Structure 1
Amino acid sequence: MIIIPSSVVCPRCFSKYLYRFGKDKEGFQKYQCKRCKRQFAPDNPPSNSRTRNQRKYPDCPVCGKATFLHHDYTYYSNFRCCDKNCNHSFRVPKLINVDPPSSELKPESFSLKGMRHPLHIVLHALTYYFCGNSTTRKVAQTLYLVHQIKVSHVTVSKWIKRFAPVFKKIADDRLLGINLCDSDEWHFDETYIKIAGKDYYLWLAFDAETRMVLDFHLSPNRDSNSAHTLLANCRRKFGQPCHAVISDRYFAYQQPASLFFPQAEHIRVENFDALINNNVLEAFNGQFKAWYKPKRGFNSFESANRLIATYIFFYNFIRPHSSLNGLTPAQVAGVNYSEKERLFWLLVA
């Protein structure tokens, strides 16, 4: 007969009528009270017991009860209350660094060495390609008809990719000193493009007041990670708007909008007819698709990323907008550069 030590009593009713009830997870002897059915392990030290303040997951902010992990994402976790009457759901960000967007091109050395044609011919080709919604074959044909210069469409494509890091460096240097925190609204949206026959998503950030594209991110996925990448880089480069962050009803924007723009209201647009809508960014998407569709997609991710970066540079710095009284979005945002610099694509700056 196994004798239970006399010092062991039930912690609830202080009864000594006990059963031996196996062992707990740490290997300590458990007992069960015959009266109140309480189970306990008296030899298990209190430091190993899980109290309210030592729960695995955070307490419910509404009722204070335990929670469970509902969804686990790369940059945050979604928890839900264990009490079915409460059933509150909340998000907790993870303390990890967010990956940079695809718009952050790697710095490269640039030289005009080896180019057989004058610089102004190259710039004309870039103008026809980005402002004329032309393909590289049509650009080569236009150069031959207008300038009597015969080049291959492959050469035109190499010119465009070669100048992309240069334009990126110029844009970063000129946008470094501007302040967009006094802007009322920033808009976020995504659209899809074809790369080597597969769907990719172009994530865009847009300032409604200056009509400037703040940043972009090209990704094969339409998920929360891409939204975090875009919004985190906008916060790092430009701060946050003074009034609102506007997006569609896609759930991926909720957590990064509240995390990176806590002082701005996150407005999720219901439809195009709402008083506050995303139409300014949808209008840019229409212009981008008009430039993109004649090309019938891109051949590679690197090529698409460089072409999109250069197109956005032309949109922000080169092409004047009638809605901005003939100014470019960069000029409205406070970037100072002369008309001569704009005509020469800022390469003489």
Structure 2
Amino acid sequence: MSSIISGLLLYNQFLLKQIRQLLLFIVRNIPLKGPKQDIYSPKYCKHTVDRLPFIKQPEKLDYKQLLREYSSQHGKELKPVKSRGGSPVSADVTCHRCGAPHTYLYDNTGGRGQLWCKVCGLRFSKVKSDFKIGALVCPYCGRILDKKKQRKSFNIHKCVNKKCSFYLNSLKKLSPEDLEEYKKDPYKFKLHYIYREFTTNFFEVDLNTMPKGSASLRFRDFSPHVLGLCMTYLVNLGLSTRATARALWEIHGVRISHVTVSKYAKSAAALVQPFVDSYDYKPTTYLAADETYIKVKGIKHYVWFVMDALKKSILGYRVSSSRDVGPCILAMRMAFAKFKEFPGMALRFAADGYTAYKLAQQQFMLNDMDFVLIQIIGLTNDDPVSLEYRWLKQIIERLNRTFKFSYQVTNGYGSGEGSDTHVALFVAYYNFLRPHSYTYWEPLNSIPELAAIPTMPAKWQKLIELSQQLILSKQLA
């Protein structure tokens, strides 16, 4: 027996020796951390947002005025062009700068596309829009951008100039390995300047729409107190409509269907939303935004939140079926509308590295609403911006976790109206009814009429009543 134990001990020592040798080999020959990828390389910048292009506004001339000036200076009229070639200028072509008709245009290159205006002296292409008013110009080389792709809500314009400084600088950033890969598969890299031109005006979209499927609050079978109970169980406690109906029967002896609970919720959301959206939050100049996913009929949707990072109130929100810039702009518009006077560059808007926020910032800049966008990238503070503003990202992430708590019991929404209803009621509860540790377990926004009411069902009734009074005052105004 002792010989077996001694043999096992010797074998164990042999294994430990082998492990030590393997560890030494790993330490000497295999680095624990690989080379850090250059996130600014064109290989990883396919979805970055470039600066805004210039809009070319060439001098617009009138060929009739130019003809009169020529006649007064030379004592004779300027004669039209006598075309002797085999490809005369088409009658529908006019000069891009002065508007001279085709009778004053030379075919300058024998049918290869370039024309010359005899009135103003402009050389231009009859195919390209080089001198048209409002042409998009590359801010790096001054060349007209080419329209490459057309998407559902935006067009993609690209600078194809191989001598453009943006393209040459991007080419220099490529490593020899990436350069070889670029020659084989250039579509994997973003080396040229790109601009996304949105065809939908998200600043004209109505933000105040009533949800479908809401019911009248003229109570025949139940009292307003039952409505308050429904909102308390459904929103405050995060129960589903079926669990809410069961709680009302088992606790209060009120037999109500989950369909009625759902209709009450839609009606309450429609009434409360104007009060929530028009309330004077007196926001600070530090806002934070983020998006989180939900399921509607089993399909992934997104909820966008914009909140006051200092006062913690939700200022903007939106539910969308896609994670693009449109709903992002609408949520930001809703938040910016809370300012009586837009703070401009004093506003610090924190978000993650998603490109939709950068594109949204460009659209607001075009509407004279510029602000400072702070993008916190990644989960660790690897750059000075993340180190300084990480707390803003953590605040909005905490809001997402709070929302997820009320969402998880629903197992997804059965309709788009259901998701809109739940988000609107959640925002009303979060801003006006929910106790927060930040405010010493008081609501974020104190309303005297609600503070005097002790029970939560009665608070919901009063909040709906205040919103009804607001709606009536706006209708009579």
TM-score category by the smaller chain? 0.7 to 0.9
Q: Report the TM-score when normalising by structure 1.
A: 0.76
Aligned to 1:270: 377
- Count residues in correspondence: 320
1:202 aligns with 2:303: yes
SS at match of 2:435: coil
What is the deviation of 1:91?
A: 5.9
- Which letter maps to 1:205? V
Distance 1:170 1:285 in 2: 23
Greater Cα offset, 229-238 or 66-75: 66-75
State which of 313, 317, 331 in structure 2 corresponds to 1:216: 317
State which of 437, 440, 452 in structure 2 corresponds to 1:340: 452
1:68 aligns with 2:169: no
Aligned to 1:179: 282
5 Å matches for 1:1-349? 22-23=87-88, 26=93, 30=107, 46=120, 49-50=123-124, 53-54=131-132, 57-69=135-147, 79-84=157-162, 85-87=164-166, 88-89=193-194, 96=201, 98=203, 100=205, 104-105=209-210, 112-173=217-278, 175=279, 177-180=280-283, 183-238=284-339, 240=342, 242-260=346-364, 262-273=369-380, 274-275=386-387, 276-277=389-390, 278-331=393-446, 337-340=449-452, 343=456, 344-345=459-460, 346-349=463-466
- Which letter maps to 2:272? F
Q: Report the TM-score when normalising by structure 2.
A: 0.58
Distance 2:246 2:293 in 1: 29
Distance 1:206 1:39 in 2: 55
Cα distance change, pair 119–56 in 1 and its aligned pair in 2 (3 A): closer
- Which letter maps to 2:322? N
Larger CA Rg, structure 1 vs 2: 2
SS at match of 2:303: strand
Distance 1:307 1:315 in 2: 12
Cα distance change, pair 245–336 in 1 and its aligned pair in 2 (3 A): farther
SS at match of 1:58: strand
Cα distance change, pair 339–41 in 1 and its aligned pair in 2 (3 A): closer
Cα distance change, pair 142–80 in 1 and its aligned pair in 2 (3 A): same
What is the deviation of 1:236?
A: 3.3
- Which letter maps to 2:316? D
Distance 1:130 1:54 in 2: 56
Structure with the larger helix share: 2
Asked if 1 retains the 8 angstrom alpha-carbon contact of 2:290 and 2:352, the reply is yes
Cα distance change, pair 283–95 in 1 and its aligned pair in 2 (3 A): closer
Distance 1:232 1:107 in 2: 23
Distance 2:329 2:150 in 1: 15
Asked if 1 retains the 8 angstrom alpha-carbon contact of 2:241 and 2:261, the reply is yes
| Identity percentage of aligned residues | 22
What is the deviation of 1:130?
A: 0.8
Distance 1:303 1:202 in 2: 13
What is the deviation of 1:229?
A: 2.3
Distance 1:31 1:47 in 2: 12
1:62-100 CA-partner distances (Å, limit 9, x unpaired): 333333235556776654434323234456677945353
- Which letter maps to 2:314? V
Aligned-pair RMSD on alpha carbons? 3.6
SS at match of 1:292: helix
Cα distance change, pair 41–67 in 1 and its aligned pair in 2 (3 A): closer
Cα distance change, pair 115–80 in 1 and its aligned pair in 2 (3 A): same
Asked if 1 retains the 8 angstrom alpha-carbon contact of 2:207 and 2:330, the reply is no
SS at match of 1:66: coil
Asked if 2 retains the 8 angstrom alpha-carbon contact of 1:184 and 1:243, the reply is yes
Cα distance change, pair 112–61 in 1 and its aligned pair in 2 (3 A): closer
Distance 2:113 2:370 in 1: 49
Structure with the larger strand share: 1
What is the deviation of 1:185?
A: 1.8
- Which letter maps to 1:50? F
Gaps of 5+ in 1: 1-18
What is the deviation of 1:258?
A: 3.7
What is the deviation of 1:250?
A: 1.3
Cα distance change, pair 341–240 in 1 and its aligned pair in 2 (3 A): farther
Cα distance change, pair 130–338 in 1 and its aligned pair in 2 (3 A): closer
Asked if 2 retains the 8 angstrom alpha-carbon contact of 1:235 and 1:260, the reply is no
Distance 2:353 2:206 in 1: 22
Gaps of 5+ in 2: 1-83, 94-101, 167-192, 381-385, 467-477
Greater Cα offset, 141-150 or 126-135: 141-150
